Structure formats: structure tokens, C-alpha cells
């Protein structure tokens, strides 16, 4: 049979392979490059806060009934409702804010819910028994409801550095009451218009001060302030990190939602893209791995903790020593098929698409490896991954690693339990132990999320391999 790779066709034998993952690897899907294409509409800047007047005009503000936007309160998680109700019972105003409101409008289940309240953070701390305040520059509260953490911020909190407020209050627009001014001022501090919405679930109103609803309808990513200002806000030593993070976030949001980046924002992204190159290059591979995992998961499509743990350990192993892409491919395929290295190598040699050369963790291929050399390198990689797993659960190594970050909390606590370490080791044990005759690889590309959440070895191995391959060999956009 012939499988389209985007670069030609790969001829495979008619007999079925034990690795049903192969057809998935070569499917042509939308890649991030498409997201950077500018949204070109003649009135794209009209009436938007991101151009001309940074602070917008009060007469352009909108209050929209949530039912008119199709928002269903059924999609608000139970822990979030517990926090909302707890604060409201004490007389404070509460709103959902940011990306969760955007996702509710798009009929998507938000991955998390951010709450903002008129209560000060110390009042939030007094309201909930399991709550801690985190963050120095912009403190927020983490409220623990069961196994879920709900983030709560306060209207009274201001971004500070060295005890000084980083931004001045904008002038209060004419005809604006105090509540609108409070909400509007907070929305101006957010990154993109589609993330600048507030939802009052009790009044059932969505407050739109930045034309965010209109941009959602137009499937457009636009900064709230002028793009060149928003992407380069002076944060002192944080400057290049903030710039790079916002650029990556713009591209990620556009790619995930299928949106386009506005012309002004796209131009600023292109102009400032050099800041991304100044990031620690190891962050780029991790960003890509987690981004590809993120595409497969959602609150109603969860995974077992061992999958996250295994991806972190895999990245750590590659960060310690760069590997040949062929070795990484064989390793991933062997994880998927239960340790059949010969089959994994046979499939990997027929990959006729270029690996992502931007990752310094990948060596430039020296040519066709002898099979024994490849197998030996795969075994070394497997040992490195297992070593990374062990180090991440060892109190000594964790404390040594944390010593490199003196401003981090003074704690030697190990957050990864031993039972999770054992589960993660099983994911990779087949590579060293050889083909597992009892193991049957997953057929097809459909993920059984119930089994994945339970930690099914077959599902976890399947998703691990998909994430690694989509990262090392990115899908090609042939549109």
C-alpha cells in the first residue's frame, strides 16, 4: 500500500505491520506555520483597542447576555463553582476571566478556569482552608478543591517589581462607573482581545471592553494594546522572556483554535521573532512536546500522570545528550510496539520526511547506521530515560537541581511518588527487555481516553509515540 507523506509516497508491503501508528505519522495536518498568516480585512483595526487609542472608548464597550453567546453553565467545572459560590456568599463580586470565557463562547470545554474577584487575596485565604498565595511579581491564590487547583486573582493586585507598581492607571473614561472602570482596567493588562473577556455567571453577562467577541467571530488573534507595545512591554530583566513567551502564545493560540493573527500583530511577531531565538533552546523542544500533547488532551479527554512524567524524563534524557533522529524514531516506535526493535528500525528507515532541525537535542544524521549501532544507541537512550525518571523522584537530585534556582521556594520535597515512578518505568521497560509477546500494540489512531486516564499501558505508549513523532517529524502543510 502507498502512504502519502507530503514529500512523496512510501511503499509498504501488503501484509499488515504490527505498528498501526505508522499511517498516523504520515497524515498531513495543519502545522503552526499556517497560523502566522496575517488576517487581512479592510476594517481590521476599526474600533479596536489595539490600534490608535490604547485605552479604547467607553461607548464601544459591550455587555452581552451569555445566552446570546451560547454559553452553558454546565461546562463550568464543579470545583470552579465551589470557589465562585464561596466568595459570592461572603459578598464579593466574582467573574470568570480570560481564555476560559473564550472557550465557552467557542463551545469548547476549558482546560482551566481563572477567577477574578473584588476580594483581596487575604480575604480569599480566609475563605478557603486549603489555599496558598503564590507569585511575587503578580501574586494570585491557588485554591485546592479536592484534587483540583483553581486560580483566583484580585482586582486590587497590581504587577510590581522591587516593591514598585509597573504600570500607571489609565485615565477614567467619561461616563464610566466604578465597576466598569475596575473591570476595564484589568482587561487592559491582558495579552489578546479574545482573552480580555469577563463573564459574570450570576448576572449571566459577558463584559467585552476590547472587541474580543467580534475577534472571536472573525477567528482573529489581536493584541489589546498596539502589538509592538504589547509584545515588548518593559519588564526589566524579564523583557526578552516576556516578548518571546507572548509571541509563542500568539502562534499557539492561533494554531490550536484555527484562528489567524491580525496584520498588525503578525508584523510585530515577525519583527520581534529574534527574541524567541534568545530563549534557552532546550525550552523549544519542551514547548513543542507539551504543545503536541496539549492537542490531544482536554478536561473531558484526560491522561494518566505517568504520560506527563515520561515525556518530562524523555526530554531530560535528550537535553543531557543530543541523539540522532533515527535513534529517537526507533526508540519511540519500540515503545509503541512493545519492544520489537527490528520492526521499529524497519519502519524508521522508511521515513522520508525531514526532522525538525531547530532542536539542538537532535544531531544531524551522519548517514545510514548499521543496525547494531542503532540498537546500541537506542539502549543507551532507554537507560538515560530511566535514569532521568529515577533522578526526578530522588530527594538528593531534586534538592541539587533546585539549588540552581535560589529564588525558588526553599523545599526539598519530592512531588513525584514512587508508585508513579514504577508506572513510568513500565512504559519504557520493553525497549531494554525486548519484545513483549503478551503486549498487543494499539490499532488505529483513535484514543480511548477512559483507558488513558486509568494509565492503560497500550494507550499511554501509543500517545507517547504520537507526541514524540509529531514533535521530531512535524506534519507538513500541503494546503
DSSP state letter for 32: G
* 324 among known catalytic residues: no
pLDDT for 35-89, tens place per residue?
A: 444 544 444 444 444 333 444 555 568 899 999 999 988 889 999 999 999 999 9
Going by C-alpha positions, the residue among 146, 97, 140, 145 that lies closest to residue 119 is 140
Confidence of residue 406 (pLDDT cuts 50, 70, 90): low
Mean pLDDT estimate for the chain: 79
CA distance 8 to 53: 51
Q: Which three cell numbers stand for residue 192?
A: 489578546
**For the chain, which residues make up each domain, given as ranges?**
62-161+175-215, 219-279, 284-473
* 112 among known catalytic residues: yes
From 68, 147, 191, 214, the catalytic residue: 191
Name the maximum alpha-carbon separation found in the chain.
77
Q: What is the mean pLDDT of residues 199-226?
A: 94
From 41, 53, 112, 324, the catalytic residue: 112
From 103, 114, 208, 324, the catalytic residue: 114
Q: Where are the alpha helices (DSSP H) in 45-139?
A: 78-89, 99-105, 121-127
First to last CA, the chain: 23
Q: What is the mean pLDDT of residues 159-173?
A: 54
Domain 62-161+175-215 is classified in which CATH homologous superfamily?
Beta Polymerase, domain 2 (3.30.460.10)
* 470 among known catalytic residues: no
Question: What would the DSSP string read from start to end of 348-414?
Answer: HTT--S---TT-TTBPPP-S---HHHHHHHHHHHHHHHHHHHHHHT-HHHHHHHHTT-TTS-S----
pLDDT for 413-423, tens place per residue?
A: 556 788 899 99
pTM of the model: 0.64
pLDDT for 112-145, tens place per residue?
A: 899 999 999 999 999 999 999 987 777 899 999 9
Degrees (nearest 5) of the Cα angle 181, 64, 93? 50
Amino acid at each position: 500500500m502507498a502512504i502519502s507523506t507530503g514529500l512523496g509516497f512510501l511503499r509498504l508491503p501488503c501484509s499488515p505491520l504490527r505498528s498501526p501508528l505508522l499511517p498516523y505519522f504520515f497524515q498531513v495536518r495543519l502545522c503552526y506555520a499556517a497560523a502566522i498568516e496575517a488576517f487581512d480585512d479592510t476594517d481590521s483595526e476599526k474600533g479596536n483597542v489595539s490600534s490608535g487609542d490604547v485605552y479604547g472608548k467607553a461607548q464601544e464597550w459591550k455587555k452581552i447576555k451569555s445566552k446570546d453567546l451560547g454559553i452553558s453553565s454546565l461546562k463550568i467545572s464543579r470545583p470552579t463553582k465551589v470557589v465562585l459560590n464561596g466568595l459570592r456568599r461572603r459578598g464579593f463580586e466574582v467573574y470568570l476571566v480570560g481564555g476560559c470565557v473564550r472557550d465557552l463562547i467557542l463551545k469548547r470545554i476549558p482546560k482551566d478556569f481563572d477567577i477574578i474577584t473584588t476580594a483581596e487575596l487575604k480575604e480569599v485565604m480566609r475563605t478557603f482552608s486549603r489555599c496558598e498565595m503564590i507569585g511575587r511579581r503578580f501574586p494570585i491564590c491557588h485554591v485546592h478543591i479536592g484534587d483540583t487547583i483553581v486560580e483566583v486573582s484580585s482586582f486590587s493586585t497590581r504587577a510590581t517589581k522591587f516593591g514598585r507598581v509597573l504600570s500607571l492607571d489609565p485615565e477614567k473614561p467619561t461616563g464610566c462607573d466604578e465597576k466598569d472602570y475596575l473591570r476595564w482596567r484589568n482587561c487592559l493588562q491582558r495579552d489578546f482581545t479574545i482573552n480580555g473577556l469577563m463573564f459574570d455567571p450570576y448576572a449571566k453577562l459577558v463584559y467585552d471592553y476590547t472587541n474580543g467577541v467580534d475577534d472571536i467571530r472573525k477567528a482573529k488573534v489581536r493584541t489589546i494594546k498596539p502589538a509592538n507595545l504589547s509584545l515588548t512591554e518593559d519588564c526589566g530583566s524579564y523583557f526578552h522572556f516576556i516578548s518571546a513567551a507572548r509571541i509563542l502564545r500568539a502562534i499557539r493560540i492561533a494554531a490550536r483554535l484555527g484562528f489567524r493573527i491580525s496584520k498588525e500583530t503578525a508584523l510585530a511577531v515577525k519583527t520581534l521573532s529574534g527574541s524567541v531565538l534568545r530563549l534557552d533552546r532546550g525550552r523549544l523542544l519542551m514547548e513543542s512536546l507539551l504543545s503536541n500533547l496539549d492537542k490531544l488532551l482536554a478536561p473531558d479527554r484526560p491522561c494518566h500522570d505517568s504520560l506527563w512524567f515520561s515525556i518530562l524524563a524523555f526530554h531530560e534524557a535528550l537535553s543531557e545528550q543530543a541523539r540522532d533522529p533515527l535513534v529517537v524514531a526507533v526508540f519511540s516506535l519500540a515503545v509503541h510496539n512493545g519492544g520489537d526493535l527490528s520492526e521499529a528500525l524497519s519502519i524508521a528507515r522508511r521515513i522520508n520526511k525531514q526532522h525538525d532541525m531547530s532542536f539542538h537535542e537532535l544531531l544531524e544524521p551522519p548517514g545510514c547506521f548499521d543496525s547494531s549501532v542503532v540498537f546500541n544507541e537506542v539502549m543507551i537512550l532507554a537507560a538515560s530515560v530511566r535514569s532521568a525518571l529515577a533522578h526526578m523522584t530522588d530527594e538528593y537530585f531534586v534538592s541539587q537541581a533546585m539549588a540552581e534556582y535560589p529564588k525558588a521556594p526553599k523545599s526539598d520535597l519530592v512531588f513525584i511518588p514512587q508508585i508513579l515512578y514504577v508506572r513510568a518505568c513500565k512504559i519504557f521497560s520493553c525497549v531494554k527487555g525486548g519484545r513483549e509477546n503478551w503486549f498487543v500494540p494499539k490499532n488505529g489512531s483513535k484514543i480511548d481516553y477512559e483507558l488513558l486516564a486509568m494509565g492503560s499501558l497500550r494507550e499511554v505508549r501509543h500517545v507517547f509515540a504520537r507526541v514524540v513523532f509529531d514533535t521530531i517529524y512535524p506534519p507538513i502543510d500541503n494546503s
